[in-house]
Amino acid sequence: MKKINIAFGKNLLTKLLLILIIIAFAMWGIGDFFSSGKKNIVAEVNGEHIYVKDFLEKYNKNRQYNSMLISGKNDEEIFYLTLNILISEKLVELVAKEKNIYINNETLSNFIKMEDKFKENNRFSRIKYEKFLLTNQLSASEYEKRFKKNLLKKLIIDSNSEGLYLTDYHKISVKNNIFTQVDIEYFKLNLQNFNIDDRKIREYFKQNKSDFDLGELRDAKKIELNKKKLNINTDDNESYYQIISEIENKILNNENISKISNYYNLETQLIEKINKKGFNQKYIMSNDAKHSKLLFELDEDFKTQIYEIDNNYYIIELNKIYKNYDLKFNANLIEKIKSKIRKELAFNSANKIIEKTQLNPDHFKDYANNENFEIKKISLNRIDENILFNKKNRDKIIDSDQDFLLVSDENNIFVVKKLSKTFLKTKAKKFENEINLEINKKFKNLVLDELDLKFNKNYKIKIIKNTYENLLKNIL
């Protein structure tokens, strides 16, 4: 049984109730959570079935759908997300039925028309609505179905959170969290000090070859679709999206990229051989890497697709598949391996420094002096950007209860000593309105945490063990 260790969202309903399975594991344990038998059923919520057929249909849709939730996820993550989504939807159905919450078509239409993203000059715009559907590759009925599910979730949250009020304790707690500032000393380990010879590089490559395998490579043809290439005026959105819609229909009717190119007199470009991560055959990140995710979703039966990246539309058509491409040992690969080894050695060194410093605080200064590392002093908070410490590292330093810790980014490893902690009164006053919004948001999260416990107490979830493990094995 594989361990579920994906970082899902925090809230039960607003983020598709992704925490549900994790909580279920924790509360009921593996023995109670799983049951055997029922080959065509993958899970149950209070005895209501989730069928394998529905799971597979949803899983395959999720693999092809480029939403914020799914984008960048691998097959294993999409597997877990799919199961969580289906469980969340089943739970919403049960709660809505028990609470007698019903949304008719007229109500649904009114709520959709109230969405700001579909408004122009403060009125509902059919063009903006159609553009949204096209951009997200959704039909109107599919979007309305999803919108209805999310609206049900909101109504369920509202109906279950009556009587919960924001107190001064919550306000003070959030403000202290946001406006805390820490003063630190730090030094940076010099990765170039770790010498790596040719023998180490080849040995590392031999032991970790699977980490560097390119695997399958694919090349393709692409067309960039913009108003200039389509001879459309810059401000003529209606004509632009009409042509995009036409092209989408041509693709649905199995017209290939060459035919579309000739019809609209568009230039076709080549996408070089790249793997799923976007590396080319020289182990360099390709300029076409942004197309790799979609390219690897195409197959011989579904070779051509239109989609949007960074506000630009593209047509992409799979050309050839190169199975198990053999990576040649080259200068780019050697530098990549050197970087990995240096970072591993630096991590080990930093951990040893932290261990010794926790026993003897003077070791922090002594080590830096012995290695001629400059100790620098700086103040960090959650409001101000810092060129050296990104948000993740600033949060880690501020939240840590340790006096000494290490933080890292892609290119650096820092050994940090915390000196003092203060509250930024001036900034708290300056950003009072923004922080009140953040406080309400964090309070909502607390409310949802309470709902987590409430729903998990009232609704029992079971995963059908044999079916679950067979699906996991066959799909992944």
Could you report the per-residue pLDDT of 191-221, keeping only the tens digit for each?
877 888 888 888 888 888 777 778 889 999 9
Domain that holds residue 295: 214-325
Is the pLDDT score of 293 beyond 60? yes
Top-confidence residue, 308 or 434: 308
Q: Read off the pLDDT of residues 335-391 as tens digits, 9 standing for 90 and up.
A: 888 888 888 888 899 999 999 999 999 999 999 999 899 999 999 998 888 888 999
If one counts the domains in the chain, the total is 3
Q: Which of 50-59, 267-276, 342-351, 457-466 has the highest mean pLDDT?
A: 267-276
Q: How far apart are the first and last CA of the chain?
A: 13
Task: Please check whether residue 7 lies inside any domain of the structure.
Answer: no
Q: Where is 408: in which H helix or E strand?
A: strand 404-408
pLDDT band at 30 (very low <50, low <70, confident <90, very high): very low
Let me know: does 33 contact 463? Beta carbons within 8 Å: yes
Task: Please check whether residue 10 lies inside any domain of the structure.
Answer: no
pLDDT band at 164 (very low <50, low <70, confident <90, very high): low
Q: What is the mean pLDDT of residues 244-255?
A: 88
According to the model, what pLDDT value does residue 18 have?
36
**CA-based nearest residue to 349, from 466, 187, 228:** 187
Q: Read off the pLDDT of residues 106-121 as tens digits, 9 standing for 90 and up.
A: 888 888 888 888 898 8
pLDDT band at 445 (very low <50, low <70, confident <90, very high): low
Find the range with the poorest average confidence among 84-98, 146-160, 290-304: 146-160
For 149, residues 6+ apart whose C-beta sits below 8 A from its C-beta are 89, 92
Does one domain contain both 23 and 132? yes
Q: What angle do CA 330, 331, 336 make, to 5 degrees?
A: 100
Task: Please check whether residue 376 lies inside any domain of the structure.
Answer: yes
Distance CA 135, CA 130 (A): 9
Does one domain contain both 192 and 340? yes
According to the model, what pLDDT value does residue 359 have?
92
Q: Which residues pair with residue 324 across a beta bridge?
A: none
According to the model, what pLDDT value does residue 467 have?
81
Task: Please check whether residue 131 lies inside any domain of the structure.
Answer: yes
Task: Please check whether residue 253 lies inside any domain of the structure.
Answer: yes
Does one domain contain both 375 and 292? no
Does one domain contain both 232 and 185? no
Does one domain contain both 352 and 463? no
| Domain end residue (candidates: 325, 342, 371) | 325
According to the model, what pLDDT value does residue 288 have?
93
Task: Please check whether residue 3 lies inside any domain of the structure.
Answer: no
